């Protein structure tokens, strides 16, 4: 308990130190506001009603969480199918690797053409970046399960669903959660890239709008809010990991 409290204390102190260093750098260095605003000026940007902060937060959050949950569902499902069928894995895995090599920035304009502007294409962008690490780590976790244990369940006439829920899922859970942590970070990046390429709402879109007027405090606030959404998602995954996986069994 004391070690956990100590880690949390150090984490809080690190963030406090960062904000303090930011404040001192701006104030002592007499840095112009349009170059780098102070923490106070950044917070004041939240009072600008014409930026529709809550609407943009909701849009970006929906894109991130929607794309992430889709990546989680499809990534785990594909990994499971590949463990059931080696020919399917041999056929599709190289194709998925090739598709993952496509730069997502280059894929963005095509996604916009296919799905128009809005939450859906940006969620697809978040999904496309987050799904592959979840797929790979889940597949690895499923392969780590002892074959003798699987054969035992099959000999007892267990169904594939029972095999998955009773043996494969619990055994692969540390790997799934490890991939989920990576996917959480990538989903944030994917959604914001989508908003940069084409959107009419969201925090990424807002950053592009205020860039024209050199409203740097609003840009900083948008970045902080994006970071906060990502931290919430990552924190949920960490909480699930601590709840579901023993400490000595965690991966990454």
Distance (Å, whole) CA 130 – CA 188? 9
Whether residue 180 lies inside any domain: the answer is yes
Whether residue 120 lies inside any domain: the answer is yes
pTM for the whole thing? 0.85
Whether residue 181 lies inside any domain: the answer is yes
Whether residue 36 lies inside any domain: the answer is no
138: how many CB neighbours lie within 10 A of its CB?
Answer: 29
**Total tally of structural domains belonging to the chain:** 1
201: DSSP letter: S
Residues 136, 141, 145, 150, CA torsion sign: negative
The predicted pLDDT at position 3 comes to 66
CATH number of the domain that 201 lies in? 1.10.3720.10
Whether residue 31 lies inside any domain: the answer is no
The predicted pLDDT at position 11 comes to 81
Closest by Cα among 197, 232, 250, 252 to 68: 232
Is 143:82 a contact under the CB 8 Å cutoff?
A: no
The predicted pLDDT at position 197 comes to 82
Q: Residue 154 corresponds to which tokens in the numbers above? A: 């099959």
The DSSP code sequence of 122-185 is HHHHHHHHHHHHHHHHHHHHHHTS-HHHHHHHHHTT--HHHHIIIIIHHHHHHHHHHHHHHHHH
Is 144:171 a contact under the CB 8 Å cutoff?
A: yes
Closest by Cα among 27, 57, 58 to 41: 27
The predicted pLDDT at position 226 comes to 94
Q: What is the pLDDT along the chain (252 residues), one digit of tens a residue?
A: 566 666 778 888 888 888 888 888 887 877 777 778 888 888 888 888 888 899 999 999 999 999 999 999 999 999 888 887 888 888 888 888 887 887 777 777 777 777 777 788 889 889 989 999 999 999 888 887 766 666 666 666 666 677 777 777 777 888 889 999 999 999 999 999 888 887 888 999 999 888 888 888 899 999 999 999 999 999 999 998 888 877 766 666
Which residue in the block uniquely carries the two structure tokens 């399917």? 88
168: DSSP letter: I
Q: Residue 78 corresponds to which tokens in the numbers above? A: 């594909």
Whether residue 23 lies inside any domain: the answer is no
Residue 157's domain spans which residues?
Answer: 48-249
Closest by Cα among 2, 7, 6 to 238: 7
Q: Residue 127 corresponds to which tokens in the numbers above? A: 């999904």
Residues 6+ apart with CB under 8 A from 167: 145, 149, 150, 153
Whether residue 133 lies inside any domain: the answer is yes
Report pLDDT digits (tens) over 11-53.
888 888 888 888 888 878 777 777 788 888 888 888 888 888 9
């Amino acid at each position: 308990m004391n070690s956990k409290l100590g880690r949390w204390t150090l984490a809080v102190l690190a963030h406090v130190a960062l904000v303090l260093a930011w404040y001192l750098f701006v104030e002592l260095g007499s840095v112009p506001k349009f170059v780098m605003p102070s923490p106070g000026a950044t917070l004041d940007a939240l009072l600008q009603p014409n930026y529709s902060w809550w609407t943009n937060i909701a849009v970006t959050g929906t894109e991130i969480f929607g794309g992430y949950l889709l990546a989680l569902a499809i990534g785990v499902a594909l990994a499971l199918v590949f463990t059931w069928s080696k020919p399917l894995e041999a056929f599709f895995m190289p194709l998925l690797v090739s598709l993952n090599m496509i730069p997502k920035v280059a894929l963005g304009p095509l996604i916009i053409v296919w799905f128009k502007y809005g939450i859906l294409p940006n969620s697809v962008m978040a999904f496309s970046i987050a799904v592959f690490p979840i797929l790979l780590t889940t597949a690895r976790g499923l392969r780590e399960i002892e074959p003798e244990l699987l054969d035992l369940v099959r000999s007892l006439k267990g169904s594939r669903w029972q095999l998955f829920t009773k043996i494969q899922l619990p055994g692969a859970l540390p790997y799934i959660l490890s991939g989920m942590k990576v996917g959480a970070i990538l989903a944030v990046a994917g959604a914001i890239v989508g908003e940069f390429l084409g959107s009419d709402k969201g925090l990424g879109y807002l950053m592009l709008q205020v860039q024209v007027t050199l409203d740097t405090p609003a840009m900083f606030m948008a970045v902080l809010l994006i970071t906060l959404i990502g931290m919430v998602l990552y924190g949920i995954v960490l909480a699930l990991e601590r709840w579901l996986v023993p400490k000595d069994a965690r991966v990454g």
